A and B are shown apart, each in its own frame.
Chain A
Amino acid sequence: MVTDDAGQGGTAAGQDNNAGHQGGAGHNMVQLITPAGERVSHPEYDPWVRDVSDEQLCSLYEDLVVIRRIDKEATALQRQGELGLWPPLLGQEASQVGSVRSLRDDDFIFPSYRENGVAYCRGVDLPDILRVWRGAASGGWDPYAVNMAIPQIVIGAQTLHATGYAMGIQNDGADSAAIVYFGDGATSEGDVNEAMVFAASFQVPLVFFCQNNHWAISEPVRLQSHTQLVDRGAGFGIPSMRVDGNDVLAVMAATRVALDRARRGGGPTFIEAVTYRMGPHTTADDPTRYRDPNELEDWAAKDPIGRVHALLDRKGLFTEEFEAGVRTKADAVARELRAGCVGMPDPEPLDVFKHVYSTPNSWLDRQQDHYSRYLASFGDPEGATQEEGAR
C-alpha cells in the first residue's frame, strides 16, 4: 500500500495538517505494515524484505521494545539526577532499528545525538550510551570498535564527515557504505546542503537518513521547508525515497535499496523517514508549550511498536512465551543500563588535559603542571589521608 498521508505540517498553531505547506511534486510514502498491523504488499519494495523471516520479525520487535525501555530508563535516570540530560527517541524506534539492522559491520555510521537506538543495535556497551549524558565524556565509545562515530551535537555537521568518510571508502575501492543520521531541522543547515553537493558531485557511497520527527525543539518542520523534505534530494541529483518511519519493514526496505545502490557505485541516496518525536526534544524541554495534544494522539495511533505487535498477533507469533521473553530481555537491559550509569566513576581532575593533542603541547603541559601543583598543595605533606572537603 502506498499512502500519501504526509502528516508533515503538524496541527499546532492552527496549521493545516497536510502537505499543503510543503508543496512541490511530492512523493508517495512507502508503507509495508499499516498502523493496524496489516502487512500490505508493495511491488517495488517487497523484494527487498522478502528474506525477513518470522524469527527476524520477532527479533526486530524485541529491538523496538528494548530501545523504548532504554529510553524510559534513561529518562528516569535523568529525573533522579544521574544524568545531566537525555534526548529521548520515543516514537522513532522503527526508523532507527529498520535502518541500522540493514547495515553490514563494515559500514560506518555517523549519528546525531539522538541515535541511542542505533547505538544499542550496533553493540555499543550500555553505560557508554549514557556516558555523554552523564557528563563523564564528550564521546561515549571507541568509534572503530563498532564502526559508529561518536555523537554529534552541532546540527548537521556530521553529514559532511560522513561524506568525507564515504569519499575515503571510494578511494580505497571498498564496497562498504556510510550512513548519516540527521533530523528535519538539520536540513536547513548549510552543512547538510554542502554535504549533498559533495556527495552527488563525487557520487560517494552514502545514505542520507533524515528522521523527520516533525519538530526541531519547538520549530515545526514547515519552518524548515516549503517542500516535502524528500524533494530536496532531487535538486542535488540524489535519488530519494519517502518512507513511513514508524514502519520498521518499510525503513529496512528503503535502506537496503540505498545501500545496494551505494555498494554498486550508484552514489548517494536520500531517505526521508516520516516519524514523530513523541517526547520532548530533551529532558530540559516542555513540548506542551508548543504542541497540540491532538497531534500527539494522532501519532500515538501510528506507533511503531503497536503495529508490529499487531502483525505478529495476526501471524500467531505473539505468544505469551514470546512476550515474556521480550520483557525479560528489556528488564535485563534496563538493569544493566542503570547499574552501569550509577556505577560509572567520575573522570580524574587531570583528565581534562588528556587527548587535547596527540603530541606534546608546551602551553598545555605547563598549565597541567601548574594545576597539578595546585591540586597537590591540598595534600598532606606527611602523606596522611586528606579529609574530604578540607581546604
Chain B
Amino acid sequence: MTQMTFARAINSGLRRSLDNDPKVLLMGEDIGTLGGVFRVTDGLQKDFGNHRVVDTPLAESGIVGTAVGLAYRGYRPVVEIQFDGFVYPAFDQIVSQVAKMHYRSRGAVKMPITIRIPFGGGIGSPEHHSESPEAYFAHTAGLRVVTPASPQDAHTMIQQAISCDDPVVFFEPKRRYHDKGEVDESLDPTSAPPMGQARVVTDGSDVTLVAYGPLVKTARDAATAAADEGVSVEVIDLRSLAPVDFATVEASVRKTGRLVITHEAGQSGGLGAEVAASITERCFYHLEAAPVRVTGFDVPYPYSRVEMHHLPDLDRILDGVDRALGRPNSLSGLEG
C-alpha cells in the first residue's frame, strides 16, 4: 500500500493500462509534455512516446471523433476532456457515434473508448470549469458512466474502464484530485469490485444516504456528524451512474426505510430523480418516508464567491436526513 493523491492514483492506473496493452493510447489537449492541466498524465508521454500519449489540436469533437476511428481499427483510446464545460462540442460524437456504433453495427464494431472528464465544483474556477453534466450521459443508451470517489477506486476503476469493451464516460471529481489515500497499486483490477457495483462506505440503520464522486466524502462527514446526534446513516457510493447498481441501494433501503440522495448537479431530471423513482418502484412498501433529494440548484454553475451555496454541504445533507426522518428541518410546516 502506498499513500498517494487521487490524481496520482489515476496516473498510476493509466500507466499500468499502457504497459499491459499496446492498443491503449491516450489523447487530449496538453496531456503530453505538460502532463495535463491537472498533471494526471504527468510523465506518461516521456515514458510511452508521442504515439501512445498524443497531444491533440484544440478540438473536442475531433478528439472524440478520431477516437471512434481508432477504435474502429482495434485501438482502445483514452481521451481527456480538459474540463467538464468543454465536453459539449464533443457531445454529438459521444452520444451519436461512440454510444451507438456497437448497436448500429449489430455488434461488429466495438467502441472501447474511455472518456475522462474532470467534473464538479468547489475549486473556485470561472465559468465552464465546474459543471456536473453526468445526467446527459447517463441518459444515453450505449454509454457507461462511472465516477470514483477514492484514490484506490480511481486506480482500479480507470483500468477497468479501459479494459471494458463498452465506452465509458469516466468522471473525475476534480476537487478530490489532491486528496490522499492508501492505494494498493498491485491490486488486480479483475479481482477488485467491478466498476458497475455500488459500495456501502459507512454502515448505518436509520437512513440510506446515496452519493457519488465529490460528495461521497461530504456524505461520510455528514454521517459522522449525524452519529453524534444519535442517527445512524448508511452511506452508499454509487460509483456507477449508468447503470446504477440498484440492488445495493435497494438492500440498504429495505433495512433503513429511508432514502436521501445527494449530488452537485441540478435537481430536475438528475440522477437523484432516477434513484428516487427506481427505489420507490422497487421497495415502496419498505419506505417510511418519501425519498429526499439534496442537490445543486437548477441554475448555471454560479461564480465562485457563491458556489458554496450551490454545492450540497454537510449541513444541507443533514437537513435532508432530518426531512427523511420527519425531524424538524428547514421545510417543516411547508406542504407539498
Interface residues of A (CB under 8 A from B): 108, 110, 137-139, 142-144, 149-150, 154, 157, 159-169, 171-172, 178, 190-191, 194-195, 197-198, 201, 354-359, 361-364
Contacts and interface: CB of A to CB of B under 8 A. Distances in A.
Interface in B26-78: 51, 56-57, 59, 61-62, 64-75, 77
Given A138-B100, A363-B242, A354 B107 contact: yes
Contacts of A362: 196, 243, 245-247
Contacts of A163: 62, 65-66, 69
A167 B69 contact: yes
Interface of B: 25, 51, 56-57, 59, 61-62, 64-75, 77, 89, 92-93, 96-97, 100, 102-110, 141-142, 144, 164-166, 196, 242-247
B65 A359 contact: no
A167 B74 CA distance: 12
B65 A191 contact: yes
B189 to A, nearest CB: 14
A139 B106 contact: yes
A137 B106 contact: yes
Nearest to A197: B57
B82 to A, nearest CB: 16
17 contacts: A139-B106, A150-B109, A154-B92, A160-B69, A165-B72, A172-B73, A178-B69, A197-B57, A198-B59, A198-B66, A354-B107, A355-B103, A356-B141, A357-B102, A357-B142, A357-B166, A361-B144
Contacts, number: 140
Contacts of A154: 92, 96-97
Contacts of A168: 69-70, 72-75
Contacts of A191: 61-62, 65, 92-93
Contacts of A355: 102-103, 105-107
A355 B141 CA distance: 11
Given A163-B65, A164-B66, A198-B57, A358 B243 contact: no
A354 B57 CA distance: 36
Contact of B51 (A144, A159, A161, A171): A171
Contacts of A161: 65-66, 68-69, 72, 97
A355 B103 CA distance: 5
A229 to B, nearest CB: 20
Residue of A108, A161, A190 most packed against chain B (CB within 10 A):
A161
B225 to A, nearest CB: 33
Contacts of A143: 72, 105, 108-109
A154 B61 CA distance: 13
Given A143-B109, A362-B246, A195 B65 contact: yes
B105 A139 contact: yes
Contacts of A358: 102, 107, 110, 165-166
B93 A150 contact: no
Given A150-B104, A171-B51, A198-B57, A363 B69 contact: no
A197 B65 CA distance: 13
A197 B69 contact: no
Nearest to A163: B66
A238 B165 CA distance: 35
A154 B104 CA distance: 13
A163 B92 CA distance: 17
A359 B164 contact: yes
B105 A198 contact: no
Contacts of B104: 138-139, 150
A45 to B, nearest CB: 30
Given A139-B104, A357-B142, A194 B61 contact: yes
A149 B72 contact: yes
Contacts of B166: 357-359
B102 A160 contact: no
A203 to B, nearest CB: 13
A192 B194 CA distance: 38
A307 B200 CA distance: 74
B62 A169 contact: no
A197 B110 CA distance: 26
B62 A194 contact: yes
Contacts of B67: 164
Contacts of B100: 138
A197 B66 CA distance: 11
B187 to A, nearest CB: 21
